[in-house]
Chains A and B, each alone.
Chain A
Amino acid sequence: MSHGIQVKRPVFGPRVARIGLYAFLIVSAAFFLLPLLLIISNSLKPLEEIRQGNLLALPVRPTFDAWITAWKSACTGLECGGVRPGLWNSIKIAVPSVAISTLVGALNGYALAQWKSRRANLIMLLVTIGLFIPYQAMLYPTVKILSSMGLFRTYAGIVLVHVIYGLPYTTLLFRNFYVGVPDEISRAARMEGASFLRTFWSVILPISTNILVVVAILQFTGIWNDYLLGLIFAGNDNLPMTVQLTNIVNNARGSVSPNVNMAAAVITAIPTLVVYFLSGRYFVRGIAAGAVKG
């Protein structure tokens, strides 16, 4: 669809209805914002204020102490260094994992879209089932395979695991998109002598920016928020931030500071939130381009 032309839609007639519409939107917006505001406001309270007051009350004496503690001095094991040590590891894991799983998903999706037969449908069915396997059930076999490759608890290993676990999802999204791309474009490239990979790289990928953004965002949130895979496959030198977050929030038999927990949760979520706030527009455009069409 064209973005330049304002699509004319029938509009609710009476002014009252228009007011009702905005009222509904604003109430919904409040519903959506409530939890975020709650966490931020509580992370700014000193501990006594949390113990005494209501969680929904605004901070009386706002302070960044909890944020500072969460960032660099909350205990996460033997060390008490907050979530800071995991930040670089999380970035180091997420960036290549997202890039590879997205690109490979695009390639697979394109390859599958070239297959237009019952067989292709069957493969799609089998791949979709991959989305429904509880991944705890996959841990043990994955460990066995990776350790036989010598990649268990290495940096390359955790990236590989994220890529493979993400592939059914990314492939599915890209395939749905590429099914809508006219076949003749691929055929034309083939007439020009372009190989399959060349066609994908020079012709298909450049027209996929919108969907690439969508898939990359979804993958980024998934991988950034992962905890269990990082714990098991990353190895001690590469533990992501979420491991520290869990160690702060989730302690079993020790004292609890909710304000630090909330601050740690917010700090860990900042990168994904920023990604959404900055690229929300592309996200919508990408979905409009056909990411999730049947």
Chain B
Amino acid sequence: MKTWLHRQTFNPDITVAVFFGVVAIFFYGSILWTGYMSLTRSTLIPSYEVIGFDQYVKLFTNYRWLVSCLNMVIFGVLFIVGTLSFGTILAILADRRIQAESLFRTIFLYPLAVSLIVTGLSWRWVLDPVNGLQGLMRNAGWESFTFDWLTNPDRAIYTLVIASIWHSSGLVMVIVLAGLRGVDNDLWKAIRMEGIPLWRAYLQVIFPGMRPVIASCVVLLMSEVIRGYDLVIAMTKGGPGIATEMPAKFAVDFYFARVNLGLASAASIVMLLLSLLMLLPYFYSEFRKRT
């Protein structure tokens, strides 16, 4: 016993075990409980009588849920691609020895400090067709100026994309900037010696070398997509109609206002499976890299 204790003096196992215990209890406990609830007819208060997979059947025959999932895919792809591209462009520009770099950097970064609720509200105000940008342009004499995406069911989802890009590109910029600063100077010398055009250098030499950095960005952004709730609530409340409904909002609505714990739990479980599916490529590459 004594020697066992001695051997533990330099041992991360205990820390890992305690930590994982906590994660298991709170996170996986919750997943299990949610999984259980999804098999019941629980409404407001948990009921523990299992009825099978009815809630899942209901979920996938629910038009709003299907629209929500589709919206999440559209939003997710545009948001991730947009944020990555915009953030990367800003990082490249910031990396080109510009004046007042830290000022620009601070400006690009501060939205991260703003909560998604406030982000949503302020963009809602900016994009309001009457009182916002469109109204301002029309008042200024440009009568035909139209920018009514917020209230146009076919376009409203793009306004969410704009606001979320605004919120997150700063983070991507900083991460990519850090990656760019880490690029070996000899690589730049080689690029100049070979006379490779700048855009090709970035696209074909620099960024492929930064794959892990970009992969972490994508994972971070993806978790925002899946959990995306606050922004939608503050900006469009899912409307016009159900044009900007999202799975997380669906789940929250059914947890509380719609008093349908069972269906909300089923939705949560499906969301979790979806995120696992999206994470798979990332972890596949992680596993391959490390072993």
Contact, chains A and B (beta carbon distance below 8 A) = yes
A56:B126 contact, CB within 8 angstroms:
yes
8 A Cβ contacts from B71-102 to A: 89-90, 93, 95-99, 102
Which residue on A lies nearest to B182, using beta carbons? A1
Judge if B59 is at the interface, Cβ distance under 8 Å: no
Contact among A35, A110, A128, A273 with B113 in the assembled complex (CB-CB below 8 Å)? A273
Within the complex, the shortest CB–CB distance from A106 to chain B, in Å, comes to: 11
By the criterion of a CB under 8 Å from any partner CB, how many residues of chain B are at the interface? 103
Contacts of A1 in B (CB 8 A): 181-182
Interface flags, A242-254, vs B, CB<8A=1, else 0:
1000000100000
| Residue in B closest to A131 when the chains form the complex, CB atoms | B223
Residue of A112, A115, A129 near B276 (CB, 8 A) is: A129
**Central interface residue in B46, B113, B122, B283, by most chain A CB within 10 Å:** B113
Which partner residue on chain A sits nearest B125 by CB separation? Answer: A55
Q: Which B residues touch A216, using CB under 8 A?
A: none
Interface residues in A257-288 by Cβ distance below 8 A to B read 261, 265, 268-269, 272-273, 275-277, 280-281, 283-284, 287-288
| Interface-central residue, A127, A133, A164, A171, by most chain B CB under 10 Å | A133
Q: A164-B22, A167-B22 are in contact. Are A134 and B252 (CB under 8 A)?
A: yes
Q: Say if the beta carbon of B3 comes within 8 Å of chain A.
A: no
Bound-state CA distance A223–B26 (Å) is: 18
Determine which of B22, B25, B102, B133 lies in contact with A281 in the assembled complex, contact meaning CB atoms within 8 Å. B102
B97→A9 contact, CB < 8 A: yes
Partner of B23, one of A10, A110, A168, A289: A168
The answer, yes or no, to whether B146 is at the interface (CB within 8 Å) is no
State how many angstroms separate the Cβ of B218 from the closest Cβ of chain A: 11
Contact A133–B125 (Cβ < 8 Å) = no
Tally of A-B Cβ pairs under 8 angstroms: 269
Hey, what's the 0/1 contact readout for B108-132 against A, CB within 8 Å counting as 1? 1111111111110111011010011
Interface: B16 (CB within 8 A) = yes
Which residues 274-291 in B have Cβ within 8 Å of A in the complex? Answer: 275-276, 279, 283, 286-287, 289-291
- Interface membership of chain B positions 138-173, coded 1 if the CB is closer than 8 angstroms to chain A and 0 otherwise: 010000000000000000000000000010001000
Interface status of A92 (Cβ within 8 A of chain B): no
A33 CB–B CB distance under 8 Å: yes
> Which residues of chain B are near A8, meaning CB under 8 Å?
185, 188
Is the C-beta of B135 less than 8 angstroms from some C-beta in chain A? Answer: yes
Residue on B with the closest CB to A176? B216
Q: Is B57 an interface residue (CB 8 A)?
A: no
Residues A32 and B188 in contact, CB atoms below 8 Å apart: no
B279 adjacent to A29 (CB under 8 Å): no
Residue B96 contacts which of A11, A164, A268 (CB distance < 8 angstroms)? A11
Whole-angstrom distance between the alpha carbons of A163 and B90 in the complex?
Answer: 33
**In whole angstroms, how far apart are the Cα atoms of A218 and B89 in the complex?**
23
Inter-subunit contact A134/B177 (CB<8 Å):
no
In this assembly, does A255 line the interface, its C-beta being within 8 Å of a C-beta of chain B? Answer: no
Tell me if A36 is interfacial: C-beta within 8 Å of chain B: yes
Interface: B67 (CB within 8 A): no
**Cα distance A230–B239 in the bound complex, in angstroms:** 28
A280 touches B105 (CB 8 A): yes
B56 touches A (CB below 8 Å): no
**Cα–Cα distance between A127 and B21 once the two chains are bound (Å):** 11
A residues 15-37 near B (Cβ < 8 Å) are 21-22, 24-25, 28-29, 31-36
CB <8 Å contact, B95 and A9: yes
Q: Which of B9, B13, B95 has the most CB of A within 10 A?
A: B9
Asked if B258 is at the interface (CB within 8 A of a chain A CB), the reply is no
Q: Whole-angstrom distance from the CB of A118 to the nearest CB of chain B?
A: 6
Q: A176–B25 Cα gap in the complex (Å)?
A: 24
A22 to B100, CA, bound (A): 11
Contact with B along A96-112 (1 / 0, CB 8 A): 00000000100110111
A-B contact pairs, 16 of them (CB 8 A): A7-B185, A24-B93, A35-B126, A112-B12, A121-B283, A126-B23, A133-B30, A137-B255, A218-B112, A265-B122, A272-B114, A275-B113, A276-B106, A292-B217, A293-B179, A293-B213
Going nearest first, the 3 A-B pairs with the smallest beta carbon separation are A294-B212, A225-B115, A111-B12
Known: A25-B104, A36-B114, A288-B181. 19 other contacts (CB 8 A): A1-B181, A7-B185, A10-B191, A31-B166, A32-B111, A38-B125, A42-B125, A54-B132, A55-B131, A116-B290, A126-B28, A132-B271, A134-B226, A137-B34, A137-B255, A142-B26, A171-B19, A199-B10, A261-B121
